[in-house]
């Protein structure tokens, strides 16, 4: 999944990165096939070149290796909002067929939820303003649901034309990378369809892991991770203390 | 500006029922000041912060907070804030009201507050469910283009508390590295307390530093390692092990209460 996400950054120029899988994937890409990729962290580190994976988005390593360190209001207002950043990398606890994301609450009432999640953070504006969004989410019926419990960040809303109506200027999610394969939005309906499976994964497995009737597009199989990709990934992951 | 001891500064500036912003975006988190607020038994606080992390988890678990105004509440790089979750999900130690925004929204609320404006404006929130639940944001039309944007109410905390690397003897404060939203927090607040690693004769220039002149700061308290377990660039690193340890401490009420007793 991380390798597939790193590959998705081939040829990209800049990436807004959150901590966790997105950060691992973006750093892997920078080590392998995208050495010029500009990593932008919401803590204000622009062009960070960490030698090890940061545990948090505010690690000193990020500030020390960045081209520029700016304030948090500046990173959102001057850098993200005008659409200067090409790719936004996001994850979520729940996602629906239109790539809308929930990172706020699960179950119960908003004020008294069954599970209180961390909340929005930078995600709503990353989802709105990055020129494209790539999602990385583990796929199972709890995460890929018919209806998300809270819309924290907008993908394609309720379908075609909704982003334009809402004035969201980025394209929206162009790719969802999961532990089973890759989903991409249908150009007409905006609904996510399976377009790629990882080695050893059957289409039926992916359907079972999806909470809506999953459509399947023209299907390819993910090339297995190369020894070089795995070696760099292990080195990166081994470096976080 | 007055140079004070930490306990004296908290006693003078932070009162029951206040709206308090302890800011720090992963770096320079004013942990020692937060612990002093807990020790002095402050109650009914409205806690404001973009990224409430383990220090707000501690204050919420200790019963200091009535309300939380925030954008992202997690243990960065580790997982959930168990005390925050317990307060929201089960009302322990008492119910916690929440007012929830995005990072961009919170940042613009501080900027508006620091600028003496009633609201900030941004492209944000449209299409999200935050619109339905958060009273401090509203749609606004651009008077020039007619475009619909989002207005967010200014934040003007009663008191802002931040940690900085150093101050000079006159109380001018200097911080550098990731400086987050601390300048805006101090300038938006009615009163401010800044803890510093050290007081020096004069401030040598630092690349990318923010300087807060003494006349916008209420009080400065010297507090070496006052940001631990977060970090102070140029002084000490982040103690990642404690962030992981906090996950275990905060999971159960009894283990947390035991920890609170050692504070």
Residue B18 Cα, gap to closest chain A Cα (Å) = 22
Same domain flag for B215 and B199: yes
Same domain flag for B32 and B68: yes
Helix (H, G, I), strand (E, B) or coil at A150: coil
Domain count, chain B: 2
Chain A residues inside the 8 Å CB shell of B127? 151, 154, 157, 162, 166, 168
Which pLDDT does position B1 carry in this prediction? 85
Same domain flag for B165 and B237: yes
**Nearest CB to A166; choose among B71, B127, B178:** B127
Do the chains contact at A69 and B177, CB–CB below 8 Å?
A: yes
Same domain flag for B184 and B114: no
Per-residue pLDDT tens digits for A87-104: 999 999 999 999 999 999
Which pLDDT does position B76 carry in this prediction? 84
Per-residue pLDDT tens digits for B12-43: 999 999 999 999 998 999 999 999 999 999 99
What is the 8-class DSSP label of residue A226? P
Residue ranges making up the domain that contains A100: 2-238
Chain A residues inside the 8 Å CB shell of B208? 69
Do the chains contact at A56 and B26, CB–CB below 8 Å?
A: yes
Which pLDDT does position A240 carry in this prediction? 54
Residue A96 Cα, gap to closest chain B Cα (Å) = 14
Which pLDDT does position A118 carry in this prediction? 95
For the question of an ipTM over 0.85, the answer is: yes
Which pLDDT does position B87 carry in this prediction? 97
Residue ranges making up the domain that contains B91: 2-101+156-261
Same domain flag for B253 and B166: yes
Q: How far is CA A241 from the centre of its chain?
A: 24
Domain count, chain A: 1
- A230: domain CATH number is 3.40.1080.10
Same domain flag for B27 and B93: yes
Segments in chain B below pLDDT 70? none
The pairs formed by B112-116 with CB atoms below 8 angstroms and a separation of 24 or more are B112/B152, B112/B153, B112/B154, B112/B155, B112/B188, B113/B154, B113/B155, B113/B156, B113/B157, B113/B184, B113/B187, B113/B188, B113/B189, B114/B183, B114/B184, B114/B187, B114/B188
Same domain flag for B113 and B178: no
Segments in chain A below pLDDT 50? 241
Which pLDDT does position A63 carry in this prediction? 87
**Nearest CB to B178; choose among A63, A123, A129:** A63
Which of A41, A52, A58 is most worth mutating to test chain B (most B CB atoms within 10 A of its CB)? Answer: A58
Which pLDDT does position A54 carry in this prediction? 79
Closest C-alpha among A82, B226, A15 to residue A25: A15
Catalytic status, residue A42? yes
Domain boundary among B153, B187, B215: B153
Same domain flag for B148 and B171: no
Same domain flag for B38 and B137: no
Same domain flag for B9 and B58: yes
Same domain flag for B177 and B253: yes
Which pLDDT does position B148 carry in this prediction? 95
Residue B7: CA count within 13 A, CB half-sphere: 3
Residue B21 Cα, gap to closest chain A Cα (Å) = 15
- B53: domain CATH number is 3.40.1080.10
Same domain flag for B216 and B95: yes
Which pLDDT does position A239 carry in this prediction? 64
Per-residue pLDDT tens digits for B59-101: 999 999 999 999 999 998 888 999 999 999 999 999 999 999 9
Domain boundary among B126, B153, B180: B153
């Amino acid at each position: 999944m991380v390798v597939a996400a790193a590959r998705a950054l081939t040829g990209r120029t800049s990436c807004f990165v959150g901590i966790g899988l997105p950060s691992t994937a973006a750093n892997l890409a920078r080590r392998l096939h995208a050495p010029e990729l500009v990593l932008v962290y919401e803590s204000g580190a622009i062009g960070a070149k960490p030698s090890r994976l940061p545990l948090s988005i505010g690690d000193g390593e990020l500030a020390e290796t960045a081209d520029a360190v700016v304030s948090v209001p500046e990173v959102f207002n001057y850098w993200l909002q005008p659409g200067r950043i090409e790719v936004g990398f996001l994850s979520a606890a729940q996602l629906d067929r239109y790539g809308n994301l929930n990172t706020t609450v699960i179950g119960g009432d908003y004020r008294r939820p069954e599970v209180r999640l961390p909340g929005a953070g930078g995600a709503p504006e990353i989802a709105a303003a990055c020129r494209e969004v790539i999602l990385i989410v583990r796929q199972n019926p709890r995460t890929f649901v018919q209806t998300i419990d809270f819309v924290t960040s907008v993908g394609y809303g309720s379908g075609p034309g909704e982003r334009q109506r809402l004035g969201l200027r980025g394209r929206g999610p162009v790719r969802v990378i999961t532990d089973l394969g890759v989903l991409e939005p249908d150009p007409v309906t905006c609904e996510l369809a399976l377009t790629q499976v990882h080695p050893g994964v059957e289409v039926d497995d992916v359907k079972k892991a999806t909470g809506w009737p999953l459509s399947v597009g023209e299907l390819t199989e993910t090339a297995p991770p190369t020894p070089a990709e795995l070696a760099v990934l292990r080195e990166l992951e081994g470096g976080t203390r | 500006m007055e140079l004070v001891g930490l306990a004296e500064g908290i006693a003078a500036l932070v009162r029951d029922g206040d709206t308090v912003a302890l800011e720090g975006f992963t770096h320079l988190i004013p942990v020692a000041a937060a612990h002093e607020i807990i020790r002095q038994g402050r109650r009914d606080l409205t806690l404001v912060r973009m990224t409430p992390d383990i220090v707000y988890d501690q204050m919420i678990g200790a019963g200091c907070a009535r309300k939380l105004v925030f954008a992202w509440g997690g243990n960065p790089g580790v997982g959930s804030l168990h005390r925050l979750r317990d307060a929201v999900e089960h009302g322990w130690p008492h119910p916690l009201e929440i007012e929830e925004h995005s990072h961009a929204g919170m940042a613009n609320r501080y900027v508006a507050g620091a600028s003496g404006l009633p609201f900030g404006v941004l492209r944000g929130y449209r299409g999200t469910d935050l619109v339905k639940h958060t009273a401090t944001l509203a749609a606004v039309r651009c008077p020039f283009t007619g475009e619909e944007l989002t207005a967010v109410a200014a934040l003007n905390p009663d008191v802002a508390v931040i940690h900085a690397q150093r101050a000079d003897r006159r109380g001018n404060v200097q911080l550098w590295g990731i400086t987050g939203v601390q300048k805006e927090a101090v300038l938006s607040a009615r009163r401010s307390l800044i803890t510093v690693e050290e007081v020096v004769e004069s401030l040598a220039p630092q690349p990318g530093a923010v300087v807060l002149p003494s006349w916008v700061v209420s009080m400065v308290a010297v507090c070496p390692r006052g940001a631990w377990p977060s970090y102070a660039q140029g002084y000490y690193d982040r103690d990642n092990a404690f962030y992981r340890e906090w996950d275990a401490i905060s999971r159960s009420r009894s283990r947390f209460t035991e920890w609170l007793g050692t504070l």
